[in-house]
Structure 1
């Protein structure tokens, strides 16, 4: 009987080949199932508007309803502009409902509304009330259409709408959440509006270019512990009834609906401030009382990052206050009230790991960067989402570098941002950065790796090409020109062009990377000191079929080519235009080796003749950290695509015996673990031989780093220790497993203090062969733990036990939200699926939910469905084409070196 029927018993395992495929692609399938099950994307904002009086009205007729065609539009008519929302929201935390009313000046009567009950509409112009003959709440376009008896002519109209909605059973719009504190379960009301969810909180013009000012009024309990928060400071607080009071906030600057935010909670705060071009601005960090001591670091890094941005952008922070509250999920750049999930906000050096600390720093820096790129200047429509998210995803690294200069953040950009998107963008299920989207599902879909990571990566390439100073000046000019307004990609590129002059066409280069998906592979041929480069589209599956004419550039790119030699880096601008067949570059006189795409700053790949690869291998130690990282990642990726033999990246791993830096080990660990997944069970001798080889090459770094931590250990050494020990334990390194088990047993029996950095590793490998009694002990620890980051580490340990019955119990426990939070459900399923014993259990779970059949129209999950299917096909292809070659290398090389 399958899991979905409520019972767990021994089952026949799938074949090893199927198990490998499942373990390699199951995470994507889980994500796909999550989306198809209608779990919505993490949103972010809310507020209300008034219309301007200059556009031609639609002249709705006084008799009859709009036509069916009119009902079906997803974009609002561009003839009405909001001016001001005067919005009152009255949440009832006990009943789980809210009421509200909003007034605004507008001159056309089509606006967004979803899942709201509209009780009353009043329309006035210059004190005269217009008769409303119909209020049509269309479900197709998520709009409400208000028809008046007389025609609507150009002018300013005052519209009053009274409405109500449900706070429960939702995670978007205006909704209710809860947390467990020392005083029991506490109810809060909060909001999540990005991209298209403000319409679930109040009728509004829910499009990014419909900016408006807001005056917000929020109802909260009179209980002194409860507060109300919104984008701007509190103006006044008045008694509303015996148990509630109404909080009114100052009028905001003009902003998009998705950037507004409303919170009613019993949070408290720590406070600091930042220097805003000579003006002191308060910076408060809010959290539940139990977590308040964990907010200090977020305030510290937020202060340093935003002061850096004020200087970098050459523009002061535009608002009178900045608040950072703990949030239920995700992170969101609401202007002046930036919200964060616990795992992205809370940190102390006694309870959290080094990686937790870095996550807090990067997410805080990302969201604060939006104060300029996204909030001050907003994309005109979601097609250009990358202008918001790509820029914040790149500039966050500069912000963290300013706050934490010893962390090597620019090297980490490769492993944290670039490599994952290079993998995705090498598939046919990718998409262009700039892509036409209309419906809410289409809009939600593009909040993905392409908009964030590829956007960040091509901005990094652009900055390298035009120079840091020119890039910074162009960004400042762009922000000043379009402040409090909206812009498109061409506007940004025009400002960069204006700084560098007309020596070359910025838009031509960037358009080849924004309006077509994918990226190029440069193939190098050598004739003496002359290196000739040709380009083609790089795909993981070199046999994949596509139509080059579907792109206006024919899947060719204008590529800024760079190189480094033993004499230094190239300085001249070298553009390989999309219209050129080839380009020839001469190696500098006296140089003994050359590597193209220094520091992997360009968004492209390079492959060489074997002699050139071997020359780079010989000079591995001479390369920068980023170049060594690039060399490893490039070769593993090229081998996966059949562009080089697998012997090349595997031979390069021999150099790891002298490697001690973090990012090269990240890449090597990932590449080797992926190969081991494919070999899992196919031949126990070859799998064990490869594990023994990896154990051998990781031993020098293992002995250098050890399990012993020192106060003098820097951030990067700590991260490297985690990576190296994790790899060592994963391949059965004897000393590593014994130490993990020893520390785990001491902890579970005596509750001794474990290292913040190593406890996740200790939980995972200490639990591997644990008894049912030990597993239950750890489950009790998990249930009693309140810290969100620590709970995820504990449950990952529970998911690593090599006992199918216990894993089945964990899957059942996931159904109980009092044990596993809903937002962690799919993370736990991923942990179980990564365990070879749990793979088949989660596979049953996926099949029982048969998401593809249940949701033939995938909606916002369409792209993830395509990615999952293509991943499965690529895994099948790998086993068919490369497994034998890898096994041959293992037999001839790894076996002889162990």
Structure 2
């Protein structure tokens, strides 16, 4: 159990007096609004804002010297609790500005003598008291030093108080601050979201504190290890409801400055990090249920709730929470669980403790209009966020360099939670597609990074945002899944339970998790692993990348090597383990499971893997390990022969693995490209989704590399030949497209069958698509297209059509009240082949009244996916980089995807030079959270150029021969 802070009677009285004064001071702040607003406009974003005659430093090259020059807080003060009062104005002022006012009473303890108080504050106007930006008092018999100077530091986002004497060790102090902020539409901190309901514009005040935005809402110790208790009070209109992390315990209607308001007081939170705070004021409605005395509510726009779009989320939340309580062997630590769908939200969802925020597409499911994929998205994202209630919220990483502890874990157990809620989906298999294969592509680059980075590599807010990437989420999930597999799930869960209960309400580093998993191993009879959990897992978390394991079935030789997509790339990041891993290998011989084998060195010999005759070896069964597998040519031939004669003798996960491994081994020049292509020959007999999806993702690389060359025609002809039997299979089992396949993944594969068949020219597909879309255009109130097929049908029909089809989609997009339907249409409009329509659409992303800010960067990516749209999107981004960077580059988690998405097709020397010039031209602006993505884009483009040069002729020849 973590430390608990008890508040003495004196402390309580002190806080009460200061809290009581908060309402009065907020009145004063609102009266002074005009004066403050002018200051807000003039306030520089960098350097020092002079509030107490503090000289502004020169703007030359900056070397940190003073404590406030560093991005990490000093370790001299520890927060205990905050009393925060906020009053967001949901009506604009005369000049159309939205503001919020507030006050904070912060109780902290001095653990090292110091004459400085440094806390985070960013883009807030602070009220002065006797010329200073805060009031300081001491508790008990102690006396607080006088404030000598106070100032704001823009670069490191600090409020600094220079004291006339030192704070005393062990003494608790109270800091009182009043502030005014801009309730902007920037999706960060305390911000506003707008939507239209029944023709009326409505405004929501909502929040996103992760990772470094609590400081935009109120001055605080804004680091994950600086946990405290938060007492929250919200002032809001009487026609609205206020929500925060805790339950509302009191509401009072009153009048402040002539305005009728309601004051809602919330129960004190548990001890928690600032990034998990949430504050919302809206006129949303909700549905609720009670699970074992726990209040569970789903909040959304009134129409969405009335249309029963929250019902599915409510139905699965209870079972998922119940599963985690059993899995963690720890009860849900709070008194309620609110989940809310927001019209404007940058991330997919955010695990605020007790008040989880979501994009509408991640929480709402319409029983009539939403697809199977929408339902799965809602289930898995709820499962991900609720996993955090324990892993991340109850126990939190010490610093952002270990973000993978939070996100990798939630990305793994979301499959377990979702599987419990929907056991017929077999969703646990899909981690191979959605996480393992996905992160392999990034972690095979020389510019990758370890799961756990050094603290000094992650300091600035942009560096922190950059950690929210595929490595932290998907590699974290993959290696934890591997760990769970070789420890077994019961031992893994036992270690987790011990870890969570030991460090509840505290912070940890990754070694704490290894310690508790090792204790679980040690206390389990007959549990044997070749090294400690520390020694095994440090090799997977402290060095980047992963191995390719090569098995020679002629000799039994087993070797490992750091897998690099471009074997000529230079790895300049040193590894204390010399890029050698402890590799757990589950394997089978001619269909019979064998005892797990550990490869503990670079080269070994395992006699059992030597085979002859028709026997074959298949390693990494069910993709339980985070590595690729290569074989000698004879074993490759036997595996491919097995696929062609009896593919179901190989599990569907391993069929997907064989394809994915082969294609990537070929890109790394380890096997031939033609061997990789041969893995697709059996696909005309394949009916399962996971292998088909694996094949299509890998063939998509060939499409990206060759859809502007003569190779594309031969590729189309071959893929048409392979997809046609699948198209006809679904046509038959759906009675000519009038029924829905019963299986969860069969519904996904039907989408693949139609989408690929149409793009490859299978007879009848184009007519089918266009007839459905035309029917809808003739009768907009009756859409004949099944929700599962809408993405594919909308995109194909708009690609085949012209301005009439596009304008109809735009009209439907503007009129729909269902977020998932709007999302489908938004993606589909990027499929048009008309350049002028694509350019017009790109311009729409600059206008939030047309494309919401949360959707701007993904819309540009959709255009870039289109072979016609790619150069248009690239020109657009280069021309408007300054604007895009200012809007999204400093903190948006999705910003790096913009660079990745636009450069996916880059495969010529000219495009590489353009990329390098783009980097050079914008060094003065910067790349923020896309910095690493830009480096990776240049690395991938270099590799693409070499691959295309070396393989184009072979690929054209192979597709031509196999198409006949």
Same fold (TM over 0.5): yes
- Conserved? CA contact 2:447–2:571, under 8 Å: no
Please identify runs of 4+ aligned residues in structure 1 that moved more than 6 A: 48-51, 62-67, 588-591
- Conserved? CA contact 2:245–2:355, under 8 Å: yes
CA distance in 2, matches of 1:773, 1:465: 57
Structure 1 counterpart of 2:768: 739
Structure 2 counterpart of 1:265: 282
Where 1:82 maps in the other structure, the secondary structure is strand
Q: Does 1:379 align with 2:397?
A: yes
Structure 2 counterpart of 1:454: 475
Structure 2 counterpart of 1:890: 959
- Cα 1:413/1:126, change in 2 over 3 Å: closer
Residues 244-301 of structure 1 deviation map (CA, whole Å, 9 limit, x = unaligned) = 1111000111001111110011110011232xxxx32111000000111201111112
| CA displacement at 1:432 relative to structure 2 | 0.6
Q: Does 1:515 align with 2:542?
A: yes
CA distance in 1, matches of 2:53, 2:786: 73
Residues 209-251 of structure 1 deviation map (CA, whole Å, 9 limit, x = unaligned) = 111111100111012xx10000110010123414211110001
Structure 2 counterpart of 1:839: 870
Residues 144-179 of structure 1 deviation map (CA, whole Å, 9 limit, x = unaligned) = 121233321120112211122111242211112211
- Cα 1:762/1:712, change in 2 over 3 Å: closer
Residues 845-882 of structure 1 deviation map (CA, whole Å, 9 limit, x = unaligned) = 13323663234443322111112222221221221111
Structure 2 counterpart of 1:783: 814
Structure 1 counterpart of 2:659: 632
Residues 813-857 of structure 1 deviation map (CA, whole Å, 9 limit, x = unaligned) = 333222221222222222222222222322321332366323444
Q: 1:140-151 residue pairs with structure 2 within 5 A?
A: 140-151=155-166
CA distance in 2, matches of 1:110, 1:240: 36
CA distance in 2, matches of 1:718, 1:169: 38
- Conserved? CA contact 1:173–1:200, under 8 Å: yes
| CA displacement at 1:889 relative to structure 2 | 0.8
Q: Does 1:566 align with 2:590?
A: yes
CA distance in 1, matches of 2:776, 2:818: 18
Residues 321-351 of structure 1 deviation map (CA, whole Å, 9 limit, x = unaligned) = 0000012212100000011101101112311
Structure 2 counterpart of 1:693: 718
- Conserved? CA contact 1:740–1:762, under 8 Å: yes
- Conserved? CA contact 2:80–2:109, under 8 Å: no
Please, which moves more after superposition, 114-123 or 284-293?
114-123
- Conserved? CA contact 1:678–1:883, under 8 Å: no
Residues 621-664 of structure 1 deviation map (CA, whole Å, 9 limit, x = unaligned) = 20111111111111111112221111122212111111111111
Where 1:586 maps in the other structure, the secondary structure is helix
Where 1:833 maps in the other structure, the secondary structure is helix
Structure 1 counterpart of 2:261: 244
CA RMSD of aligned residues (A): 2.3
Structure 1 counterpart of 2:350: 332
| CA displacement at 1:63 relative to structure 2 | 14
Structure 2 counterpart of 1:115: 123
Q: 1:203-214 residue pairs with structure 2 within 5 A?
A: 203-214=219-230
- Conserved? CA contact 1:232–1:320, under 8 Å: yes
Of 353, 358, 367, the residue aligned with 2:385 is 367
Residues 4-55 of structure 1 deviation map (CA, whole Å, 9 limit, x = unaligned) = xxxxxxxxxxxxxxxxxxxxxxxxxxxxxxxxxxxxxxxxxxxx9999x9xx
- Conserved? CA contact 1:725–1:736, under 8 Å: yes
Where 1:294 maps in the other structure, the secondary structure is coil
Structure 2: gaps (5+ residues): 11-51, 58-63, 93-97, 111-116, 523-527, 882-917
- Conserved? CA contact 2:741–2:747, under 8 Å: no
CA distance in 2, matches of 1:531, 1:866: 39
CA distance in 2, matches of 1:654, 1:342: 41
- Conserved? CA contact 1:50–1:82, under 8 Å: no
Structure 1 counterpart of 2:149: 134
Structure 2 counterpart of 1:94: 91
Where 1:582 maps in the other structure, the secondary structure is strand
CA distance in 2, matches of 1:250, 1:807: 51
Of 607, 615, 633, the residue aligned with 1:610 is 633
Q: Which gives a bigger RCO, structure 1 or 2 (Cα 8 Å, sep 6+)?
A: 1
CA distance in 2, matches of 1:49, 1:808: 61
TM-score (norm 1): 0.89
CA distance in 1, matches of 2:861, 2:466: 21
Q: 1:639-658 residue pairs with structure 2 within 5 A?
A: 639-658=666-685
CA distance in 2, matches of 1:434, 1:50: 37
Q: 1:317-328 residue pairs with structure 2 within 5 A?
A: 317-327=332-342, 328=344
- Conserved? CA contact 2:85–2:103, under 8 Å: yes
- Conserved? CA contact 1:271–1:299, under 8 Å: yes
Q: 1:167-316 residue pairs with structure 2 within 5 A?
A: 167-223=183-239, 226-241=240-255, 242-274=259-291, 279-292=292-305, 293-316=308-331
Where 2:205 maps in the other structure, the secondary structure is strand
- Cα 1:50/1:531, change in 2 over 3 Å: farther
Structure 1 counterpart of 2:41: none
Q: Does 1:871 align with 2:940?
A: yes
- Cα 1:382/1:50, change in 2 over 3 Å: farther
CA distance in 2, matches of 1:49, 1:733: 71
Where 2:551 maps in the other structure, the secondary structure is strand
CA distance in 2, matches of 1:583, 1:463: 26
CA distance in 2, matches of 1:309, 1:654: 43
CA distance in 2, matches of 1:498, 1:238: 51
Where 1:157 maps in the other structure, the secondary structure is strand
CA distance in 1, matches of 2:873, 2:452: 36
Q: Does 1:103 align with 2:105?
A: yes
| CA displacement at 1:532 relative to structure 2 | 1.2
Q: 1:390-539 residue pairs with structure 2 within 5 A?
A: 390-436=408-454, 437-501=458-522, 504-527=531-554, 530-539=555-564
CA distance in 2, matches of 1:380, 1:272: 35
Where 1:232 maps in the other structure, the secondary structure is coil
Q: Does 1:703 align with 2:728?
A: yes
Where 2:728 maps in the other structure, the secondary structure is helix
Q: 1:754-773 residue pairs with structure 2 within 5 A?
A: 754-773=785-804
Structure 2 counterpart of 1:598: 621
CA distance in 1, matches of 2:611, 2:577: 35
- Cα 1:423/1:238, change in 2 over 3 Å: same
CA distance in 1, matches of 2:351, 2:81: 21
Structure 1 counterpart of 2:703: 676
Of 159, 166, 184, the residue aligned with 2:182 is 166
- Conserved? CA contact 1:49–1:84, under 8 Å: no
| CA displacement at 1:68 relative to structure 2 | 4.3
Structure 2 counterpart of 1:716: 745
Of 580, 586, 605, the residue aligned with 2:608 is 586
| CA displacement at 1:795 relative to structure 2 | 2.8
Where 2:84 maps in the other structure, the secondary structure is strand
- Conserved? CA contact 2:553–2:609, under 8 Å: no
Structure 2 counterpart of 1:4: none
CA distance in 2, matches of 1:638, 1:356: 34
Q: Number of residues paired by the alignment?
A: 826
Structure 1 counterpart of 2:31: none
Where 1:708 maps in the other structure, the secondary structure is coil
CA distance in 2, matches of 1:140, 1:547: 30
| CA displacement at 1:588 relative to structure 2 | 8.8
Structure 1: gaps (5+ residues): 1-47, 54-61
Q: Does 1:665 align with 2:692?
A: yes
Structure 2 counterpart of 1:542: 567
- Conserved? CA contact 1:165–1:201, under 8 Å: yes
Where 1:799 maps in the other structure, the secondary structure is helix
- Conserved? CA contact 1:49–1:82, under 8 Å: no
- Cα 1:318/1:746, change in 2 over 3 Å: same
Please, which moves more after superposition, 601-610 or 112-121?
112-121
Q: Does 1:70 align with 2:67?
A: yes
| CA displacement at 1:445 relative to structure 2 | 0.8
| CA displacement at 1:712 relative to structure 2 | 6.1
